[in-house]
Amino acid sequence: MATLLLDIVTTSSMLFIIAAGLMIILGVMKLINFAHGAFLTVGGYSAHVVTNAGFNAWLTIPAAAVVGFLLGIVVERVILRPLYDRPLDAILATWGLGIVIAQIITFIFGRGVQFAESPISGTTDLLSVGYSSWRLVLVVVALALGAALTALLYYTRFGLNARAVIMNENLARGLGIDSVRVRAVTFGLGAALACAAGALITPLLSIDPNMGLPWLVNSFMLVLVSGVAIPGLALASLLLGGAQVLVSTFVSPIIGGITIVVLAAVILRIRPGGLSRG
């Protein structure tokens, strides 16, 4: 029972961490970033490069975030900015970008599986069961991330500007907010979060050119169900992640794999705006 509870909490945390970057970009830019899976992969490979070079495994996370931020800034400037008036084309462009990134990674590192060292391994005793330490770390990271993103949006100048752009971009621009800069920083931030998430899940996964792909669909569903808000995303992760664990445990892990997608479709049928909006 304790294990089941921990499974639910840790799985939800993992989903929250992975989906956060996608949600930030969708929220501010109204853009579904289909390169999100590829950004996760870039994060995994960043971790591989960092530990291979002999650095401490904890450095993989900030390093991946920096790589992601720079990548995001460049992608925004070169690929997305010219397409802001053509939102559908911009979405297609991110999809193509995902393929290009995966191929570049294959070209450099090959198709095979790569490895990175884990910051910690083994188990910790909690609620009288020995449970994976790294999964518990992910819970702490998810909580910190949620708090940090909330603080960023509600207690900083950038957050205020971002919220203004979300509500009414034209009006915000009229008031002198540099919406182009807000978009650029947002995309960089979203990519940084995605890459850091990629580094954070590598202790539990293999690093290969398609490692991020299976997470893309689930993240996408979570973000839609969340209604694009941080508390909504937390709730969606807990709800859908929990359902996935329950179905996997009591029905079948194979059906568990499609739980999030099916449940998300049902929720969106009942509440088209997601959990946060009426």
Partner 1 sequence: MKLTHLAGSVLLLAAMTSGAAAQEDPIKIGIPVGLSGANSVVAPSVVQSSELAAEEINANGGILGRKVKLVVADDGSGAQGAQSAFNSLVFQDDVDVLISMETSAARNAGLPIVNRAGKPYIYTSFYEGHSCSPWMYVDAWVPEQQVTPIVDHFMKEEGAKSFYLIGSDYAFGRGMLEFTRQYIEKSGGKVLGEEYLPMDGSDWTAIISDLKSKNPDALITSTAGGAPNVTLTKQLRNAGVTIPYGNLAVDEGTAKSMGSDASGIFISQSYLTGISSKENKKFLAAMEKKFGSGLKTPNDLSVPQYEAIYLYKAAVEKAGSTDPQAVVDALPEVSFKGPRGVIKMDKQHHTPLTMYLGQVKDDGSVKVINTFKDVDPGDQCPNL
Catalog residues that contact partner 1 under the rule CB under 8 A: 3-4, 7, 10-11, 110-115, 117-118, 121-123, 130-135, 203-206, 208, 210-211, 213-214, 244-245, 248-249, 252-254, 256-257
Tell me whether residue 108 or residue 254 sits nearer to partner 1 (CB atom). 254
CB of 164 to partner 1, least distance (A): 38
Task: Give yes or no for a contact between 33 and 90, defined as CB atoms under 8 angstroms apart.
Answer: no
How many residues comprise the chain?
Answer: 278
- Least distance to partner 1, CB of residue 13, Å: 12
Please, which residue, 209 or 274, has the CB nearer to partner 1? 209
Minimum CB–partner distance for residue 201 and partner 1 (Å): 9
Between residues 137 and 160, which has the closer beta carbon with respect to partner 1? 137
CA dihedral (94, 98, 104, 110) in degrees, to 10, reads 180
Three-class SS of the chain: CHHHHHHHHHHHHHHHHHHHHHHHHHHHHCCCCCCHHHHHHHHHHHHHHHHHCCCCHHHHHHHHHHHHHHHHHHHHHHHHHHHCCCHHHHHHHHHHHHHHHHHHHHHHHCCCCECCCCCCCCEEEECCEEEEHHHHHHHHHHHHHHHHHHHHHHHCHHHHHHHHHHHCHHHHHHCCCCHHHHHHHHHHHHHHHHHHHHHHHHHHCCECCCCCHHHHHHHHHHHHHHCCCHHHHHHHHHHHHHHHHHHHHHCCHHHHHHHHHHHHHHHHHHCCCCCCCC
- Nearer Cβ to partner 1, position 62 or 257? 257
Report in angstroms how near the CB of residue 72 gets to partner 1 at its nearest. Answer: 24
Closer residue to partner 1 (CB): 165 or 199:
199
Least distance to partner 1 from the beta carbon of 110, Å?
8
Q: Is 253 or 273 the residue whose CB approaches partner 1 more closely?
A: 253
Query: Minimum Å distance from CB 103 to partner 1?
Result: 12
| Closest approach of partner 1 to the CB of residue 92, in Å | 24
Report the residue number, 156 or 252, with the smaller CB distance to partner 1: 252
Which one, 227 or 241, has the nearer CB to partner 1? 241
Taking the complex as a whole, the smallest distance from the CB of residue 81 to partner 1 amounts, in Å, to 34
Give 80's Cβ-side CA count (13 Å radius).
28
